[in-house]
Structure 1
């Protein structure tokens, strides 16, 4: 590619980015004027500069963050890092050199990350001026109060975390090029949605944790969707023309492969945006009367624009995939992509205004009236009787989104796999149903009140749910429904190939599980999980993953290549013995009461005492920890050793060897 062509591509990219920034500004100004956010500010007025700059800079911040995330996801999951022999002829770049599209997307990611840093720092200062009602100043007093805002107030701390994340990501985008590192950077960038959501309007509703979860889902969907389309527009000039002499599925049809891969990501992101947007609207508006307010009308406008944009994007990508498979990439396709970005820029501008406008219902958190409310954020639940096991529900939308996606992806794979056994699908869906119950019903609600219920919840996630998930054979399903990539990038199959030797280590995974449980319950980490929503969510996810790791090493047929049957039986026996020992120690009362200040500080008038509750926790460990592992061990002992022919068949059909679906190389 000549230097003149590179400059021309850069100029075109800067042009559409500049137009997007102008659209963001116009959307912010018009929606701010419509809602009267600035005009209604009578007291603690920080000045028009602050009031008008803050929503504009916020929209630019979100747009830059979206571009960073989209470019990093493209670099990690969509684009090949280097030019392969098959595509060297169409790119005018030597074989094994860095792919032009990959290089460009990383350049854009670095530039957008720098903008993200500047916007995050500016928002930090403007937010302080807005909340304190002070105009911007270079005085020492303003700086001292700003420092107190950053260190002492939750809003300031959240904004500071975003600044730190932006600086770290911006620095590493210049250094990291490996697939694992780029995935880590993408996830680190996405983690900025957590502090953004913690200080959002829906997070201040009565259902605080439901609001935070819904906002996180919404932001993740928005940033992935918008950022992905922006990344696609950025790399469009570097995509080589289609090789008309090859089949549409050939790796030389680079444009088709890229659009198809992104289309799968965009479809999931759109569903997340639409569903979580509806949920957030319900939390903010309160009832139907809220729709007739100006705030509600902007929400309706945003909803309709999102719906229309999703339909346009879907039809456009279906049309472009067919067109690019038979014709060289043309300007019409990529102009439509840029048009999507510009519409999204307008929606982001409206979203920025909505985040600053007051909802039609009061969003202040009510004062805590009871010790339980002060500790957990919710009233003390009623006494745990048998009917309450089914009556108590509190929806956790993060887990609901995860479960729905897991079910949809599995069912799609089962549909594509030839003759997939129904009992495996039933096992997977049963596990997800139990996961809904554990994360949204009595185990989680009473887990903050009773130590025995918390151990029941955590061990159910780690052992019972994980057994059913592994019996669903998701890795074998991936081997039959997802083909390997041939362009040097890493998809699901490639990552599973790399992880398989580590996954099939029952002794290692069992040791990690026991050590993690002891470190969790008998260190301050347990108190952090009880106090903070984020730590609670990460803990549940961690033990679910570790539990699946353990059960994969014990039960999955693919593990037979790496872990002998005797090794797996020994691992199961070791785990069962440790869980039995832990249960006996808890029942005997040999250990001190866990977190007595927390569980004893709620002034609970029903249920067991702290000492008895700890003994009941021992019974919970026996039922949900020792029993599943013991049953798995018995199944391993009674099971027939695989024949040599079966071993060879397993090797051919396990991850890394299957060739059943080579026709879907774009996945």
Structure 2
């Protein structure tokens, strides 16, 4: 039974230290105590809980709010970390063969149980934080009066801060229910993704979101929270898991779990460190901001992050090799506990920072132009040929995603070379060409001018949906994953298992080029000829989701139409799909160019007070040219290349497709 497992004391062989279940619980509670102590000390140091001259909510609210935030942040990390462990890092079944009728692995049961318990604590902490945040905002003590409850309802429905915490409450409610009912890795993985969506409302009301560049601040804060939750929660889940694995005598599984998390934690560490520096720069202003109380807490947090990185590096390089012996396993577990305690203190400091006034005030300059009201930025300067290259606005969320994808691809290429596989250089060049172009499209002129010109928006979106997926598909990242990542045999699901886990029905749909082409065309039609376009222009999160969606759909489409190891009937479908999508794009381009299509979002583009460039109707005609260049032309090249490849392979009787179009592992 899980409750009976013990770790052995290396100083006194044969003497059990404590039941594994209670040992993990004691240390998690100790971490919570350290976090609370850290937030109390930090709040006292920074004056975050000091009495206010006006609208003071009382000592209880002033001190309880940062403590409640600390609990919220900590248990959210535990929920995310345990769900990620259950979905990807620990075996889900109790046997090596992972048969469907085999019992759940004890480590899987443990992290799922902890995730369920932590999710209910998370839900309760969200409710407490919401009430305390409202009381602190209006400067009233918490009460059960009708007036207090009535104004709390207004806070939740009409104010951005209240709406954010209301959204987090809804997310926490669904997460705790889904985590309780789901027992499959697929269900728990979906629950983990749902829990991670809480990052969005948290980032929208954070300090960095109040900087002059609002969306850059929100993006950097979202990246920071993503890294923090994966890293902190993963370490907590590791502390819960090691006692179970250690007492089962599965040294190989224990080493594998630690090694897998070390790789994930390495990515999270760099996300936390890089985004933390950006957030600090946005809130500290000049260097003298480091001398403020806020700046000194930032220095403490930064130093603790570096220390945690050093401990994690020690894990990866040394302690993993010691797992197996009693003393080595105990030492690895103790290092994890040290990490958990330090992270708890950092979480406490973070909660106090959220309640501390930064050197750069949160109050933004009022929006004085229509463009600033609608987009958050003034109208960019007149678009000329050199401004297509000179205008940049860094989107830190997109940049973190892109750089991570580039780093993972490089590691895959390196691993294939180590294993003796030959990876074509042209595929690497194609992948990184697509990566560079993706950085330009999401952070450069296409996105900046896409907010004020429909032609630039069309360039941006079709590049993300057609041109960039074409380059990425030629890079064959899924083939690279197949070569560089071996299948797991311990019953857990890694990247390869998740990609290959398809039922015959789903597989036939995923591989069907007609279906992927229809989805791409239908998605573009719905975006441009419904209110979805206005939604993506008006809201930052809708813009990010739209870009990610079309990047995925575009890659899926390109991967299906460029598969080479297919039957003649499927090859005919591929040719017809490419020609059909290109024909629809050509029709769309003509409709835009000749004014047949209705003017898109005329209210939005006419309200920006743009004083340069073409009229809205003329600009939409230019969008037709963009469809020809970015949508039709790449598909025409693919079609010509595909037909020529088919002809040459038919005439020569060639059967080796590895040197031609990529199979994209579909």
Same-fold status (TM-score > 0.5): yes
Shift of 1:656: 8.2
Aligned partners of 1:17, 1:172: CA distance in 2, in Å?
A: 23
User: Match for residue 533 of structure 1?
Assistant: 540
| Aligned equivalent of 1:514 | 521
Partner of 1:8: 19
Could you tell me which runs of 5 or more consecutive residues in structure 1 were left unpaired when the two chains were aligned. 89-93, 244-250, 658-667
2:455 to 431, 452, 458: 452
Contact 2:477 2:664 in 1 (8 A): no
Determine the C-alpha separation between the residues in 2 that align with 1:466 and 1:77: 27
CA distance in 1 between counterparts of 2:154 and 2:72 reads 24
- SS of the equivalent of 2:597 reads coil
Paired position in structure 1 for 2:426: 423
Q: Is the 8 A contact 1:217 1:272 kept in 2?
A: yes
Give the one of 156, 159, 167 matched to 2:165.
159
Matched, 1:523 2:530: yes
Please tell me whether residue 646 in structure 1 is matched to residue 649 in structure 2: no
Kindly provide the CA deviation profile for residues 313-366 of structure 1, in whole angstroms up to 9, marking residues without a partner as x. 221232222112677863222122112101100000000000111101122121
Q: Deviations over 1:519-562 (max 9, x none)?
A: 0111111111111000000000100111101110112446x369
- Correspondence 1:393-404 to 2 at 5 A: 393-404=392-403
What is the CA distance between 1:503 and its match in structure 2?
A: 3.8
Which one of 50, 73, 92 corresponds to residue 61 of structure 2?
Answer: 50
Separation in 2 of the partners of 1:410 and 1:617?
Answer: 34
2:577 maps to what in 1? 571
How far residue 256 of structure 1 moved from its aligned partner, in angstroms, is 0.7
How many aligned residue pairs are there? 642
Q: Tell me whether 1:227 sits opposite 2:226 in the alignment.
A: no
**Contact 1:242–1:327 at 8 Å: present in 2 too?**
no
Q: 1:648 to 1:452 in 2, by over 3 A?
A: closer
Q: How far off is 1:284 after superposition? A: 0.5
Deviation at 1:106, TM superposition (A): 0.4
Task: Give me the TM-score of the superposition, normalised by structure 1.
Answer: 0.93
- C-alpha distance in 1 between matches for 2:232 and 2:639: 48
In the TM superposition, residue 504 of structure 1 has moved relative to its aligned partner by 2.5
Q: Name the SS of the counterpart of 1:381 in structure 2.
A: coil
Relative distance call for 1:615 and 1:649 in structure 2 (3 A) is closer
1:309-458 mapped onto 2 (5 Å cutoff): 309-324=308-323, 330-417=329-416, 418-458=421-461
Distance 2:287 2:373 in 1: 31
> CA 1:517–1:41 in 2, change beyond 3 Å: closer, same or farther?
same
- 1:38 Cα deviation after fit: 2.0
1:614 and 2:620 correspond:
yes
1:505 to 488, 497, 512: 512
Partner of 1:206 in structure 2?
A: 212
Equivalence for 1:291:
290
* 2:245 aligned to which of 207, 217, 239: 239
Counterpart residue number, 1:131:
137
Over residues 415-439 of structure 1, what are the superposed CA-to-partner deviations in whole Å (9 max), with x where a residue is unaligned? Answer: 1112212111111111100001000
Supply the distance in 2 between the matched residues of 1:557 and 1:203 (Cα, whole angstroms). Answer: 47
Deviation at 1:123?
0.4
1:474 matches 2:477: yes
How many Å separate the matches in 1 of 2:597 and 2:118? 53
1:225 Cα deviation from its structure 2 partner: 0.2
Normalising by structure 2, report the TM-score.
0.93
Question: What aligned pairs does 1:625-636 form with structure 2 within 5 A after superposition?
Answer: 625-636=631-642
The 3 A distance-change label for structure 1 pair 649 and 359 is closer
1:647 CA drift (Å): 6.4
Which residue of structure 1 aligns with residue 28 of structure 2? Answer: 17
Gaps of 5+ in 2: 7-17
Q: CA deviation at 1:158?
A: 0.3
- Matches of 2:657 and 2:428, distance apart in 1: 25
Q: Distance in 1 between matches of 2:96 and 2:432?
A: 42
Please name the residue that 1:69 is paired with.
80
Match of 2:89 among 78, 81, 86: 78
2:116 & 2:553 partners in 1: Cα distance? Answer: 34
Residues 1:241 and 1:599: Cα distance change in structure 2 (over 3 Å): same
RMSD (Å), alpha carbons: 2.2
| Structure 2 residue matching 1:483: 3-state secondary structure | coil
Does the C-alpha gap of structure 1 residues 86 and 373 become closer, same or farther in structure 2, counting only changes over 3 Å?
closer
Counting only pairs closer than 5 Å after superposition, residues 485-496 of structure 1 correspond to structure 2 as: 485-496=488-499
* In structure 2, C-alpha distance between the alignment counterparts of 1:85 and 1:389, rounded to whole Å: 56
Q: Which residue of 2 aligns with 1:247?
A: none
How many angstroms does 1:295 deviate by? 0.8
Alignment CA distance shift 1:561-1:654 (3 Å): farther
1:344 partner SS: helix
Aligned to 2:271: 272
Distance 2:43 2:2 in 1: 45
